[in-house]
Structure 1
Amino acid sequence: MADNFNFELVSPERLLVSGSVSEVVIPATEGEMTVMANHAPTMTTIKPGVVTVKFTDGKKDRYVVFGGFADIIPTGCTLLAESAVPADEVKSDEITRRIEAARAELAHAKSDDQKFGIETYLAELTTLQGIVVPV
């Protein structure tokens, strides 16, 4: 049986999760990460995606996050999200609004680095839209 650890998912609006879990899958910028007890200390940025939380009783919850960062230590993980909602509460128009805002920002981007960052963010949002709100 897997060891448990403390996990908190915090957004500016509210604390979404705080408790003992057995596993958390987070959308780290460099790829999905599965965090478990005794994980090596790590700090990573978070891209738009889905966080899957497996609680000690076997129940799983999913949350949509729109960026942030995670601080992982052997006894816990704290994910500070720029914005987060339970996956069943996300609305297609919210993601569409973010995509449109990013496209408008891309049209006014001045440097190649800025364009690349916005294009990457747009790709992540588009992928997220396909996962959370299937056609």
Structure 2
Amino acid sequence: MATFDLELVSPEKLLLSRPVEMAIIPAAEGEMGVLPGMAPMIVALKGGVIRVQENGAITEKLFVMGGFAEITPTRVTVLADEATPVTQLSRAQAAERVREAEAAYAGTASTATPEERELAMDRLLAVREMEAAAEAA
């Protein structure tokens, strides 16, 4: 089967760099399956799980807090704000991050601009996705 090169980069390190058959990414507009030969585009990512498919099966799951993906016919480069293999997510840490994000969002109720409230809500939704991924692992 045809493949493309997938690279996943976080601020700390390069997490993945190899040929894959397909990647399912959490695009801001919804989950997006990426296959070889896709039209070039740049998409924003929301918090969620990137699933990597090789030899007809999901071989790897990585949680990203957001970022961008550059898609070309032969390569996908994901620049993640924060990325962690799903198997390394901690339920307790994810639950704590949800509590912190909920408190931060509640704190924006009266003094924040609409843009600040939207950023706080995006963060809250991302950490809720992290919590769900940690519980599913």
Task: Point out where structure 2 has 5 or more consecutive residues left out of the alignment.
Answer: none
2:78 corresponds to: 79
Q: Which residue of 2 aligns with 1:69?
A: 68
User: Which segments of 5 or more consecutive residues in structure 1 lack a partner in the other structure?
Assistant: none
Which portions of structure 1, spanning 4 or more consecutive aligned residues, are displaced by more than 3 angstroms? 56-59
Using the aligned pairs only, state the percent identity.
33
Match of 2:90 in 1: 91
Measure how far apart 1:81 and its partner are: 0.8
Q: Which piece of structure 1 moves more, 50-59 or 22-31?
A: 50-59
Deviations 1:7-32 (A, max 9, x none): 00111122111011100000011100
* Alignment coverage as a number of residue pairs: 133
Number of the residue aligned with 2:123: 121
What is the DSSP-based 3-state SS (H/G/I as helix, E as strand, rest coil) of the residue aligned with 2:38? coil
CA contact (8 A) 1:62 1:87 kept: yes
> What CA RMSD, in Å, does the superposition of the two structures yield over aligned residues?
2.0
Change (3 A) 1:127 1:58: closer
Please report the TM-score for the alignment, with normalisation by the length of structure 1. 0.86
**In structure 1, the residue corresponding to 2:87 is in which secondary structure?**
helix
2:97 maps to amino acid: R
Contact kept in structure 2, 1:4 and 1:56, CA below 8 Å: no
